Amino acid sequence: DAEITQSPRHKITETGRQVTLACHQTWNHNNMFWYRQDLGHGLRLIHYSYGVQDTNKGEVSDGYSVSRSNTEDLPLTLESAASSQTSVYFCASSESQRGYEQYFGPGTRLTVT
Amino acid sequence: DQQVKQNSPSLSVQEGRISILNCDYTNSMFDYFLWYKKYPAEGPTFLISISSIKDKNEDGRFTVFLNKSAKHLSLHIVPSQPGDSAVYFCASLGNQGGKLIFGQGTELSVKP
């Protein structure tokens, strides 16, 4: 069965470290998204991609970067982790044409100390 | 600037009764709306959607109503079951591509 996975599921890191969160989907979807979930804010879009070599900034992109070298993966990198980036991160994907319904991964809980 | 708002952070309902979750949006150009359900330690899952050309969409126990003039949509769950206890997010399709704009979420608790 097609799926979308995230790793690690939990991560503790120190302020200033570079961290990369992995997202892998086997749906063969062109669209991929990264969100963070914080209490009172819902899901906020960090970065998104509509295909290989395409990346775009979302609502809260400062301090984050992504790269899309193939269809299956969209890793999210925190260049220099800050305590404000402690959050739960979700990756999602959707079809190009019927892009409305996004399929989410299980999430990564990141704690920056 | 919150374009999609869920003003009730939580809702408690008795099993068997109706649950009504509300959502307001500000941009009249939004033309597609979705509801997602999220259990703890899991990712959100798609529940039901509605296009702006409709005012109602029904799927089993779940019905979404859209009032375009009021820029308001609601999700009705009838009858509510304990397994419906979760956080519910409404979302609208933005003006550009396949991006979704989410509300803050409402935590529903259905008590036996």
Could you read off the pLDDT of B44-97 as tens digits, one per residue? 999 999 999 999 999 999 999 999 999 999 999 999 999 999 999 999 987 666
B73 contacts B50 by C-beta, under 8 angstroms: yes
Give the model's pLDDT for residue A104.
96
pLDDT tens per residue across span B8-46: 999 999 999 999 999 999 988 888 999 999 999 999 999
Q: Residue B112 and residue B106: Cα distance in Å, rounded?
A: 19
CB < 8 Å to B99, chain A: 33, 45, 48, 58
- CA-nearest of B35, B13, B40 to B23 is B35
A8 contacts A109 by C-beta, under 8 angstroms: no
**A74: confidence class by pLDDT, cuts 50, 70, 90:** very high
Q: Which one of B99, B102, B106 would you mutate to disrupt binding with A, by most A Cβ within 10 Å of its Cβ?
A: B99
A50:B97 CB<8 A: yes
Segment A41-55 shows an average pLDDT of: 94
Residue of B nearest to A106 (CA): B43
A101:B49 CB<8 A: yes
Which residues, at least 6 apart from A1, have a Cβ–Cβ distance to it below 8 Å?
Answer: none
Give the model's pLDDT for residue B31.
85
Can you tell me which residue has the tokens 């800050």? A82
3-class DSSP assignment, residue B45: strand
CB < 8 Å to A41, chain B: 104
